[in-house]
Structure 1
Amino acid sequence: MQHDYDKILTRLTIILSKLYQGEQLKVNDLAEEFNVSKRTIQRDFKERLINFPIFYEDKQWQMQKGFKIEKNLSLEDAITLDILENFSSNLGIKFHSKTTNILNKLKNRQYSPIFTKLNMEDISTEYENMISFEDAILQQYKIKINYISRNNENIIEINPLKIVNFEGLWYLIATDSNDKLKSYYIKNITLLETTNIKFQVPKRVESILDNAISIWFDDSESFEVVMQIDNYVAKYFRNKPISNTQKTISQDDDKLTISIMATNDMEIIPIVKSWLPFIKVITPKRINEAVKQEARKFLEL
């Protein structure tokens, strides 16, 4: 049985595919094609697709100039689509299947020379919630959820702001009743209700997410972390900075010294542990001591 969220996702992807290929679409025609009401199609355009570069003119929806995809792809365009398709393979079988069907209509080849491995969790079972979260985020409606945390299970009301992925796991970023920015693991969420109560999106959210190192970020005041990295692995930190705030302080024949801004010690500790013994935190000293303590516990085991 095909669920409602499957039908919505399929309908939206087909509509977008048509628009990107330069088609001009009428609401009546789409309603007939998908066997839904005109009101449903109008909601697709005015709510679900509101952030795409589309416009309504002469009773037709169409894509803005400069965003249409030509059917005769350049090599660069084909490679870009290959990369997108391979990214989708890390999001679960259902998502990858739908993505592949769409991209194959745009590409002139079936075999891809690109391979990526992102180790993302399968979110196929969460489509219904994901679509509801996206709608609530776009419309800025509060939602009521049942959330299972490490120690308990609570019914709470939150303001959904972003759906994010850190280290392959999916989270909903939201503010709670005290306007505190928090992250909620999506697979631990049961959506109970999308309310009609509006909320304002805090201006600080985009900046915080841009500079976040991991899901351990919070909206506390940031602090500087200085690290020394052995030149044996220094190139990885130069080529792929830990965060947007990373700066090089010095470099010699033995080590690279960098600084980054963090909001929580746990943004740094897992990184240091994953690169031992080639990395050391100079300041703040408490982080270096925390890593040492965990290393001692490991050796005792």
Structure 2
Amino acid sequence: DILNSKINKAYLIKNQGFEESFSKYAEFELLSAAILNHHIVSFVYNDKHRVVNPYKLINNKGVWYLLADEEETLKNYTVSKIFKLQIKEESFTPDDKFLAKIEQNDTNWFSNTTIEVVLEIDNNAKEYFTRKEILPNKQIIEENKDCLIISTKISYDDEILNIVKHWIPCIKIISPKYLQEKLNNILTEYLKTTQPVGKPCNTTKNKS
């Protein structure tokens, strides 16, 4: 029916294994309307002003992304990192080659380059990753009584980091090394912002 047709046009959901907290409902609704009505949008992303033609809102493993054409290149933008969103009065005509690419692509990531990632998965998570199609282009390199070594191909760092963060400590990134270092930095910064167990948020004592 008409409603389902509009939903399919605006959204693409794949491999929804877990959810992230999502608070940008207003931006989400504005982007949905812009996609359906083919309106150009602008926003700030990674401290840079962007003007794009929006095509899809994609849910990949619980994380929402905007798929849009920026300077004739399809790119993904994490919705939670989009700021100062504005819907322009100008409209655009969807590009047939982009529409065909969206229909044909078997993952939710659109890039001309891919990165091979090798992961070590322990027995606590091994069955889940062998049974579910969580990782694109998955190949088993080695399987023993302790762990599973697999390779997968990604286009963006967050594509694999979001999965690994969810499965800590059951997964280790063997290669590339920079991804494990990036994950270590993320976790270190997170731990700096957390309160020690049992310590109240306000440690100031009231004086009588």
Calculate the TM-score normalised by the size of structure 2.
Answer: 0.64
Structure 2 Cα separation of the partners of residues 237 and 118 of structure 1: 17
**Higher fraction of strand:** 2
Provide the residue aligned with 2:200 in structure 1.
Answer: none
* Alpha-carbon shift at residue 222 of structure 1 (Å): 1.0
Give the structure with higher Rg (CA): 1
- Structure 2 counterpart of 1:199, from 95, 110, 117: 95
Residue 130, structure 1, aligned to residue 36, structure 2: no
Provide the residue aligned with 2:179 in structure 1.
Answer: 287
Provide the residue aligned with 2:141 in structure 1.
Answer: 249
Distance 1:300 1:12, change over 3 A: closer
Structure 2 Cα separation of the partners of residues 250 and 283 of structure 1: 15
Match runs of 1:14-53 below 5 Å: none
CA RMSD for the aligned pairs? 3.8
Structure 2 Cα separation of the partners of residues 173 and 149 of structure 1: 13
Equivalent residue pairs, number:
181
Provide the residue aligned with 2:203 in structure 1.
Answer: none
Structure 1 Cα separation of the partners of residues 131 and 191 of structure 2: 32
* Alpha-carbon shift at residue 128 of structure 1 (Å): 6.0
2:53 and 2:92 in contact (8 A); partners too: no
1:48 and 1:135 in contact (8 A); partners too: no
* Alpha-carbon shift at residue 135 of structure 1 (Å): 3.8
* Alpha-carbon shift at residue 252 of structure 1 (Å): 1.5
* Alpha-carbon shift at residue 151 of structure 1 (Å): 2.5
Distance 1:256 1:176, change over 3 A: same
- Structure 2 counterpart of 1:211, from 100, 107, 113: 107
Question: Relative contact order (alpha carbons < 8 A, sep ≥ 6): 1 or 2 greater?
Answer: 2
Match runs of 1:163-242 below 5 Å: 163-183=57-77, 185=79, 188=83, 189-195=85-91, 197=93, 199-202=95-98, 203-208=100-105, 210-212=106-108, 217-242=109-134
CA displacement, residues 144-192 of structure 1 (integer Å, 9 cap, x when unaligned): 223133435x462x33322222354544311112424233628753211
Distance 1:49 1:133, change over 3 A: closer
Question: What letter is aligned with 2:41?
Answer: I
* Alpha-carbon shift at residue 129 of structure 1 (Å): 4.8
2:121 and 2:171 in contact (8 A); partners too: yes
**Higher fraction of helix:** 1
Calculate the TM-score normalised by the size of structure 1.
Answer: 0.48
Provide structure 1 residue ranges, at least 5 long, that are not aligned to the other structure.
1-10, 17-46, 52-116, 137-142
Residue 149, structure 1, aligned to residue 149, structure 2: no
Structure 2 Cα separation of the partners of residues 241 and 48 of structure 1: 27
- Structure 1 counterpart of 2:160, from 268, 277, 280: 268
3-state secondary structure, aligned to 2:182: helix
Distance 1:123 1:286, change over 3 A: closer
Give identity over the alignment, percent.
23
Structure 2 Cα separation of the partners of residues 178 and 167 of structure 1: 27
